[in-house]
């Protein structure tokens, strides 16, 4: 990763267009993103599928939601 002083580039005042254009040009030249795209793991993929199917639990209020979220913690403490 190249870090530059955005206020001055090559002794000249930086222009926003140039600062934005440089990474874009580099991506086009490399034909790749400058970062690894996030690839969801199996658990995340299954959660997304459940959401699309509408197989998500419903809660009447926030308190019920948090009670459900904490249920695993309470069960683990009982062991």
pTM exceeding 0.95: no
Token pair 């030249």 is found at: 29
Mean pLDDT of 29-55: 88
Computed over every residue of the chain, the mean pLDDT equals 80
pLDDT at 12: 62
6 — pLDDT class (breaks 50, 70, 90): low
Strand (E) or helix (H) holding 74 = helix 62-78
Question: Any idea where the domains of the chain sit in the sequence?
Answer: 1-36, 42-78
pLDDT at 48: 92
Q: CA-based Rg of the chain, rounded to a whole angstrom?
A: 24
Residue 36 above 70 pLDDT? Answer: yes
pLDDT at 52: 95
pLDDT at 55: 85
């Amino acid at each position: 990763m190249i870090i530059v002083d955005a206020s001055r580039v090559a002794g000249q005042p930086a222009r926003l267009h140039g600062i934005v254009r440089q990474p874009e040009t580099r991506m086009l030249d490399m034909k790749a993103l400058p970062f690894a795209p996030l690839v969801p793991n199996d658990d995340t993929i299954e959660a997304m599928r459940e959401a699309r199917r509408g197989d998500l639990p419903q809660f009447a209020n926030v308190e019920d939601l948090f009670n459900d979220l904490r249920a695993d913690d309470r069960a683990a403490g009982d062991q």
